[in-house]
Amino acid sequence: MLTTTDALERILAKTPQLATSEVALDAGLGRFLAQPMQAHLSLPRFDQSSMDGYAIAGKNCGSSGDRSRLQVISEVAAGSEATVAVGDGQAVRVFTGAPVPPGTAAVIMQEDVTAHPDGTVTLDTPAEPGEFIRRAGADVCAGQRIAEVGQRITPSLLAVLATQGWANVTVGGIPKVGILSTGDELVPLGAPLPSSACIYNSNGPMLKALVVSSGSECVRVEHCRDDLATLSDCLRDLSDQCDVVIVSGGVSVGDHDHVRPAMLAAGYEMDFWRVRMKPGKPLAFGVDPTGCRLAFGLPGNPVSAFVTFWLFVFPSLRRMMGATGTDLSLPVVSVSASAEIHNKGDRAHWFRGRITGAHFEPLGLQESHALFSLSKANALVCVEPECSVAAGTSVDAYLLPWQ
Ligand code: AMP
Ligand code: MG
């Protein structure tokens, strides 16, 4: 049976990257750059004032009071060009973001100046050369690489790209995902429960929410009874419209588990179908012969479906989108276990729990059907088979993104 790491490696090795496209910069938020970006403008673009105040020459730095009387010769607001140079005995009124005039050694802020009715100013405190001037190129120099292929467009990177005037960016594609819940016991939300043995389909809405919150497009959400022919047809139909199909339930070895044969009937080649982990041992991964489409058969137990989504499906969706490195998985932080965590089993156990401050505490029932404790969790921690993590020991916690 594969380990989590080996299974993920196999999935990523078979995950295709989607075609890239050029989109409006604001539509690129959350997507991954498909080309490196090189600044053509420096930041700041020009030497500019960082205060509302007065630009003065070098000879007038260092003095104050009556000995510092300067004639105000012109004014430069943000957006105006500074055409008049400032000389000895002179000051130019400047505002935040305005270019400083030629000859400027410092800007003195208006709070440190006394303005007189005759058009002169005196400095209340001496100015230091260089102060309140933002130098051209101090942040970014023209020609500098400012973003890499595979980098995620966050609001702050988006702002940096905007400083360059780029209205469009080339980014990786958005996976089209179909979701298929299987099970004779499942009832759609809003409908009455027909018998005491039925339950509502919670995996369908959960998986849709996970797909959408990961930046992919959920094109269809279907439910199928535990019947091989119907399941195969439904899977084939979804595969025609999707880059990825996520099936939940029916993936194990029970008499009513038809997902693996249905995947084969729908034309997928089965790469593996079990992983040595808990929750989530049955996990089928199939690739269609063109290599363009993937199918994941996740366990029906809701927590297993949730955990295997984050560990296997999410990285694959991210790779399709053009992500690299740490963007392929949930962010990991090192925290200390607040109590002993024991894994008696022979499979790696992913514990759900809560990080408060620098401590991780497992939460509630750790079984694969126990959704309620999962709803309170903000992190997952893996404990290797037959291992214990002592209280106070450092553990790697995978942060769930919305907590
Ligand atoms: P299975 O993997 O089909 O054997 O299902 C394992 C467990 O998960 C069973 O208790 C199912 O009733 C439950 N289950 C399967 N699919 C869903 C679903 N879509 N929503 C809620 N529970 C489910
Ligand atoms: Mg089932």
Whether 226 and 341 share a structural domain: no
Of 17, 31, 319, 35, the residue nearest 149 (C-alpha): 35
Over residues 282-321, the pLDDT tens digits come to: 999 999 999 999 999 999 999 999 999 999 999 999 999 9
Local confidence band at 403 (pLDDT 50, 70, 90 cut-offs):
low
Whether 147 and 109 share a structural domain: no
In the predicted structure, residue 114 carries a pLDDT above the cut 80:
yes
The torsion of the CA quartet 313, 316, 318, 319, rounded to 10 degrees, works out to 180
Asked if 104 and 55 count as a contact pair (C-beta separation under 8 A), the reply is yes
Local confidence band at 228 (pLDDT 50, 70, 90 cut-offs):
very high
202 lines ligand 1 (CB under 6 A): yes
| Closest residue to atom 5 of ligand 1, CA basis | 300
Ligand with smallest separation from the Cα of 282? 1
Whether 190 and 319 share a structural domain: yes
In the predicted structure, residue 113 carries a pLDDT above the cut 80:
yes
Listing DSSP states for 49-88 in one string gives: ESSSEEEE-GGGTT--EEEEEEEEEEEE-TTS---SPP-T
User: Residue 117 sits in which domain range?
Assistant: 48-134
Average pLDDT over residues 165-175: 98
Whether 206 and 156 share a structural domain: no
Whether 33 and 148 share a structural domain: yes
Whether 195 and 323 share a structural domain: yes
48 lines ligand 1 (CB under 6 A): no
Over residues 301-310, the pLDDT tens digits come to: 999 999 999 9
| Closest residue to atom 7 of ligand 1, CA basis | 301
> At which residue do the structure tokens 């849709």 appear?
208
Centre of ligand 1 to C-alpha 336, Å, is: 33
Please give the structure tokens belonging to residue 17.
Answer: 């990257």
How many alpha carbons lie under 13 Å from residue 345 in its C-beta half-sphere?
16
Domain count, the chain: 4
Local confidence band at 281 (pLDDT 50, 70, 90 cut-offs):
confident
Which of 134, 155, 186 is the last residue in one of the domains?
134
239 lines ligand 1 (CB under 6 A): no
Please give the structure tokens belonging to residue 149.
Answer: 């292929």
Whether 297 and 350 share a structural domain: no
Listing DSSP states for 119-146 in one string gives: SEEEESSPPPTTTTEEPTTSSB-TT-EE
Local confidence band at 280 (pLDDT 50, 70, 90 cut-offs):
confident
Dist. CA 58–CA 13, nearest whole Å = 63
In the predicted structure, residue 402 carries a pLDDT above the cut 80:
no
Centre of ligand 1 to C-alpha 250, Å, is: 8
Whether 159 and 192 share a structural domain: no
Whether 190 and 309 share a structural domain: yes
Of 233, 223, 228, the residue nearest 183 (C-alpha): 223
Residue % of the chain over a pLDDT of 90: 98
Asked if 96 and 88 count as a contact pair (C-beta separation under 8 A), the reply is no
Residues contacting 38, CB < 8 A, separation 6+: 143, 144, 145, 146
Which of 284, 307, 328 is the last residue in one of the domains?
328
Dist. CA 371–CA 233, nearest whole Å = 30
Asked if 174 and 215 count as a contact pair (C-beta separation under 8 A), the reply is yes
Dist. CA 372–CA 141, nearest whole Å = 52
- CATH number of the domain that 391 lies in? 2.40.340.10
The length of the chain is 403
Ligand with smallest separation from the Cα of 300? 1
Whether 86 and 217 share a structural domain: no
232 lines ligand 1 (CB under 6 A): no
Over residues 345-386, the pLDDT tens digits come to: 999 999 999 999 999 999 999 999 999 999 999 999 999 999
In the predicted structure, residue 142 carries a pLDDT above the cut 70:
yes
Whether 237 and 347 share a structural domain: no
- CATH number of the domain that 252 lies in? 3.40.980.10
Residue % of the chain over a pLDDT of 70: 100
Which of 134, 154, 183 is the last residue in one of the domains?
134
Ligand with smallest separation from the Cα of 184? 2
Residues contacting 20, CB < 8 A, separation 6+: 34, 170, 171, 172, 173, 322
Over residues 13-60, the pLDDT tens digits come to: 999 999 999 999 999 999 999 999 999 999 999 999 999 999 999 999
Pocket test for ligand 1, best of 210, 221, 301, 306 (most atoms within 8 A of CB): 301
Whether 232 and 317 share a structural domain: yes
